[in-house]
Structures are given as C-alpha cells and as structure tokens.
C-alpha cells in the first residue's frame, strides 16, 4: 500500500512533543513491514537541508489567488520525508509559535495552507496513494480538502491529544477561499467557531487514538473535551492503538547519555548510576532510600495541581519521610515551578531541575527506583514505557495509556509492574507512593522480580504497526 502520513512535526526533523516521536517511529516500522510510506510535513527554517532534494512545485488556490509552494524530499529508514516549503514555515523559527506559549497569529492560515496542499501535492507528484493518515488538529482539514478535490483515497485521523483542537474564529475559514461544510464548526448557534480537529473527526473514514483506554475515555463527558458526543456517534469507526517506544534511543544496555550501562540480567550499572545521581544532585548517598523521579512538562495535565495544591499538601507530607527522595525534571507552568523551588529549599530530599535536557532525562530514568506519573489524563504517555524498560517502576494514575501499560503490583503480586492509583487525588498519590516505598523496603525479592517483568514487557512498535496495517487493509478492501 502507498501511505501518506500528514503531520506538523516528525522526528528527527522537528519536535515539540510525543506526536513527533510517533511519526518518527511508526513510519519506519510500517516501511519495514513492506508498506510504501511518505511523511508530508512543513519545512521549518530550523530543519537541516542536508540530504534533501528538490521535489514537485505546484500552486494551491487560497482566497488571494494561487499560492506557489514547493517541496523537498529525503529518504531515511525506508521512508520518504516530504517537506512543504512556503514562507509560513521556512521563515519561522518555531512550529506553532516562537515560544511554546505564544502561538503565531496566523496559525489558522498556515495550517489551512498545509492541509490544502495535500491533494495538490498528490496530483503534482502523480503518486497513487491508497491511504492518507492525518495526525492531530494541524492535519484536521485534510479529509475535507481531499473530498473537495474529488480525490479517491481513504483517510485515517489519529488523535494524539484531544485537548488541542485548532480552534479559530469562524471568519478564518474564508482564508482558504472555500465553502466549508457545517461539520467543521463547533459551539452553539451564534457562537460557532472553526475547529480543525473536529473537521478531521467528522470527515475521516476511520479515527484512531493512541491507546485503547483513551479511546473509551474520550467518549465520556469527563475526558471528551466537548467532542464526546461526536466520538460516541462514530464509535464504530474509532479504535485505540497503543504507541510503541523507540528502542534504539531508549536502551539501558547502550544509552548514549550515561556510561553505567545495565541489562535485565546484570543490573549493577543501575546501582552505580543511582549512586552517581544521588551524589551529583546532593541527595543523601544511601542505596537503601528509594529514589523517585518525575520528568514531564510541568502542567496541570501531569498532576502537579494534586501534588502541590489543595487542602492536602501531599508532596510536603511525603518529603517529611526519611525513606523518600524525589528528583523533578521539567519546565512549564511558572506557578508550579516556583512552588517546587520553594519546597526544594525546605527539604534536602527534593531536587528540582527546571530544564529540558535529554542527558538529565536519560540519567534520571536509569538511576531512579520509581517514576511518579500522576497524570490527570494521558492519551498514551511515553515516559512510563521508558521507565518500564529501564526497570524504574511507574507509580501512576490508572488512565489512558498508563492503564494499558502498567499492571498494579498490590492487586497482582505475581504479574505487577508498577503501582496504580484508581482515582487521582492527593490521598491516592500518597497511598500509591507509600505502597511503593513499603514494597521497596520490605519485599526486596518481590521488587527484583517486578523489575525483571517490567524490563521485559514488549513495548516495540512492531505490534502497533501491524494493527495500523490491519486498519488500512479494512479500508482499502472495503
Ligand atoms: P506529552 O507528549 O504529554 O508531553 P509524553 O510522555 O507522551 O508526554 O512525551 C513527552 C516526551 O518529552 C518524552 O519523550 C519525555 O522524555 C520528553 N520530556 C518531557 N519533559 C522533558 C524534560 N524536561 N527534559 C527532557 N525530556 C523531556
């Protein structure tokens, strides 16, 4: 099959989050299984042009007339990456904005042009495509434009995070110069707005999201971000397929960010790494104190509200325990960053590193005993997978992809791989962390077995890529 992936970011060329990781791993995994895959992406100014060659040039009709664009392409790991060149992308230093907090004012027009370029690219490249697979809101209008251009191609739309919908003024729709159908708008009569993600959900042939549990959750009001009714309407076409993880980038036997390598059989390197990290960060150097880590955006989604606020200051309470060390790595919400820094001053068993750094993230994953992930919601989540693979048992909320990848040790002592909170609250965080600490202190043998199980869970892309191919097959044969 010929498959065109459409995404605003893809590793190794551009990345702001998990979406880019998926594009960079799923596409080669599909190619390895014999599919012909191209990835259509914007060519931002920061992408290294080395190895790219010129591709088709064409025009896209927009409100102001025919807009000239060009493409460049490069083959990597069996996949052809096609970059769309236009000043909207080639003259911008960011993906969605110059910083992650200030989106560009013309994002509606930028991603309308990006989506509308897809059918014109397919025509110009004379490429007989079977499936166009669109990812997140920036590719939300693609199924509409393909239909509008009477292209005979099947479409799949993947939700990586339902909370980001590409919500713009209704009047922005004139920019594309098309008559846009009612389905792409959301909100009450009189206040209808353009919603690019909703356009994808309405018009794609099939919808997927990145874990089976998240696929169920987004059909409920609590997790549906205002679109649960639509996802219930389309539930026959909605499927959750769990992401895999990058086994080359994240491998404790050969991790390029630390020398203390280890494996399932010989974990002495993990102990050495823990000792070094305890020392370098100024923790008490004691192998018997469980070291917890959190590596994430510092945001409400990741559970910082429950951890730091409310009537029950659970982090404060945990930090008064001798048998608890916590290393927090992340950047984000300034209010939470300040609260963490204040707590760090009061407790020598808390270290807060406000940074986005691969070295630090890899070292912490390798060194820690537990990975704390009290996310309010988690479409799939990658860090709990890295943690399992690094023998760092996750302590997490049973939601989305966390529910699909972690088995609770308390309920399942012989198969468990982590500690789960049924509901997210300050009390449940305290309960789960304390269960983990007790297990660590009182059941060394159980702990070693759980680490072995965690490190041998199959988290590769192979199985997930097979599920996507099955889905593509049902469309192309249907
Ligand atoms: P989300 O996409 O919601 O941010 P994921 O767990 O799916 O969460 O993916 C986050 C990715 O970003 C992971 O690869 C994680 O290791 C990385 N990451 C997050 N914060 C940091 C940080 N401060 N330093 C290095 N890597 C980070």
pLDDT per position as a tens digit, 61-96: 998 899 999 999 999 999 999 999 999 999 999 999
Residue with tokens 């169920």: 216
> Residue 476 has what pLDDT?
85
Could you give the CA distance from residue 298 to residue 304 in angstroms, rounded to a whole number?
7
Could you give the CA distance from residue 206 to residue 210 in angstroms, rounded to a whole number?
14
> Residue 309 has what pLDDT?
78
C-alpha of residue 299 to centroid of ligand 1, in Å? 12
Could you give the CA distance from residue 337 to residue 352 in angstroms, rounded to a whole number?
9
C-alpha of residue 178 to centroid of ligand 1, in Å? 38
Rg (C-alpha) for the chain, rounded Å, is: 23
The token duo for 75 is 């083959």
> Can you point out the beta strands (E) in 130-244?
131-135, 154-159, 167-168, 185-186, 193-195, 206-209, 238-240
> Residue 179 has what pLDDT?
77
Looking at the CA of residue 353, tell me the nearest atom of ligand 1. Answer: 23
Our answer on whether the CB atom of 357 is closer than 6 Å to any ligand 1 atom is yes
Give how far the C-alpha of residue 193 lies from the chain's centroid of Cα atoms, to the nearest Å: 26
Could you give the CA distance from residue 191 to residue 106 in angstroms, rounded to a whole number?
21
Q: Whose CA is nearest to atom 17 of ligand 1?
A: 296
Could you give the CA distance from residue 8 to residue 111 in angstroms, rounded to a whole number?
8
Q: Whose CA is nearest to atom 12 of ligand 1?
A: 17
Our answer on whether the CB atom of 327 is closer than 6 Å to any ligand 1 atom is no
- Candidates 164, 211, 294, 297: which one to mutate for ligand 1, based on the most atoms within 8 Å of Cβ? 297
- CB neighbourhood size of 68 (10 A): 11
Interior angle at CA 305, CA 304 and CA 308, nearest 5: 75
> Residue 186 has what pLDDT?
85
Residue with tokens 């468990």: 416
The token duo for 372 is 């704390």
Could you give the CA distance from residue 375 to residue 302 in angstroms, rounded to a whole number?
4
> Residue 64 has what pLDDT?
81
Our answer on whether the CB atom of 330 is closer than 6 Å to any ligand 1 atom is yes
The token duo for 171 is 């009047």
Q: Whose CA is nearest to atom 8 of ligand 1?
A: 381
Q: The pTM is what?
A: 0.94
C-alpha of residue 320 to centroid of ligand 1, in Å? 28
> Residue 302 has what pLDDT?
95
User: Does the annotation flag 15 for ligand binding?
Assistant: yes
Instruction: Note down pLDDT in tens along the chain; length 478 residues.
Output: 999 999 999 999 999 888 999 999 999 999 999 999 999 999 999 999 999 999 999 999 998 899 999 999 999 999 999 999 999 999 999 999 987 668 999 999 999 999 999 999 999 999 999 999 999 999 999 999 999 999 999 999 999 999 999 999 888 877 777 777 888 888 877 778 999 999 999 999 999 999 999 999 999 999 999 999 999 999 999 999 999 998 888 999 999 999 999 999 999 999 999 999 999 999 999 999 999 999 998 999 999 999 997 667 899 999 999 999 999 999 989 999 999 999 999 999 999 999 988 999 999 999 999 999 999 999 999 999 999 999 999 999 999 999 999 999 999 999 999 999 999 999 999 999 999 999 999 999 999 999 999 999 999 999 999 999 999 999 987 6
Our answer on whether the CB atom of 434 is closer than 6 Å to any ligand 1 atom is no
> Residue 191 has what pLDDT?
77
* CA-closest candidate to residue 144, choices 200, 197, 208, 63: 200
C-alpha of residue 70 to centroid of ligand 1, in Å? 32
> Residue 122 has what pLDDT?
98
Our answer on whether the CB atom of 297 is closer than 6 Å to any ligand 1 atom is yes
In three-state form (DSSP H/G/I as H, E/B as E, the rest C), the secondary structure along 18-54 is HHHHHHHHHHHHHHHCCCEEEEEEECCCCCCCCCCEE
pLDDT per position as a tens digit, 298-312: 999 999 999 997 667
């Amino acid at each position: 099959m010929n498959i065109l992936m459409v995404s605003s970011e893809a590793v190794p060329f551009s990345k702001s989050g998990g979406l880019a990781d998926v594009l960079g791993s799923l596409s080669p995994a599909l190619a390895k299984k014999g599919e012909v895959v191209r990835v259509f992406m914007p060519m931002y100014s920061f992408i290294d042009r080395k190895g790219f060659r010129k591709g088709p040039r064409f025009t896209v009709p927009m409100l102001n007339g025919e807009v000239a664009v060009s493409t460049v392409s490069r083959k990597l790991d069996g996949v052809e990456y096609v970059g769309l060149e236009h000043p909207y992308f080639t003259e911008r230093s960011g993906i969605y904005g110059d910083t992650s907090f200030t989106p560009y004012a013309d994002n509606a027009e930028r991603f309308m042009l990006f989506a509308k370029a897809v059918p014109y690219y397919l025509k110009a490249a004379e490429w007989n495509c079977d499936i166009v697979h669109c990812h997140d809101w920036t590719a939300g209008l693609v199924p509409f434009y393909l239909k509008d251009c009477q292209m005979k191609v099947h479409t799949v739309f993947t939700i990586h995070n339902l909370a980001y919908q590409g919500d713009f003024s209704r009047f922005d729709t004139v920019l594309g110069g098309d008559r846009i159908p009612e389905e792409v708008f959301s909100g009450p009569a009189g206040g209808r707005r353009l919603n690019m993600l909703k356009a994808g959900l309405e018009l794609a042939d099939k919808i997927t999201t990145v874990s089976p549990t998240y696929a169920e959750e987004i059909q409920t009001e609590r997790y549906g971000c205002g679109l649960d009714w639509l996802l219930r309407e389309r539930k026959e076409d909605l499927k959750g397929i769990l992401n895999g993880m990058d086994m080359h980038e994240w491998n404790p036997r050969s991790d390029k960010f630390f020398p203390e390598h280890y494996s399932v059989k010989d974990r002495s390197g993990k102990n050495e790494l823990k000792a070094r990290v305890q020392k370098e960060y100024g923790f008490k150097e004691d192998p018997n104190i469980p070291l917890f880590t959190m590596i994430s955006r510092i945001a409400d989604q990741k559970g910082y509200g429950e951890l730091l606020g409310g009537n029950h200051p659970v982090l404060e309470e945990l930090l008064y325990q001798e048998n608890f060390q916590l290393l927090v790595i992340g950047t984000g919400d300034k209010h939470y960053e300040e609260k963490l820094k204040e707590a760090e001053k009061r407790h020598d068993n808390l270290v807060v590193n406000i940074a986005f750094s691969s070295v630090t993230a890899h070292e912490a994953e390798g060194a820690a005993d537990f990975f704390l992930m009290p996310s309010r919601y988690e479409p799939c989540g990658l860090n709990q997978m890295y943690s399992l693979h690094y023998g760092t048992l996750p302590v997490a909320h049973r939601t989305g992809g966390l529910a699909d990848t972690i088995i609770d040790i308390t309920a399942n002592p012989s198969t468990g791989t982590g500690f789960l909170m049924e509901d997210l609250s300050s009390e449940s965080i305290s309960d789960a962390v304390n269960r983990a600490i007790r297990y660590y202190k009182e059941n060394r043998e159980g702990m070693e077995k759980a680490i072995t199980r965690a490190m041998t869970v199959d988290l590769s892309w192979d199985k997930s890529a097979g599920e996507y191919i099955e889905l593509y097959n049902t469309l192309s044969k249907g």
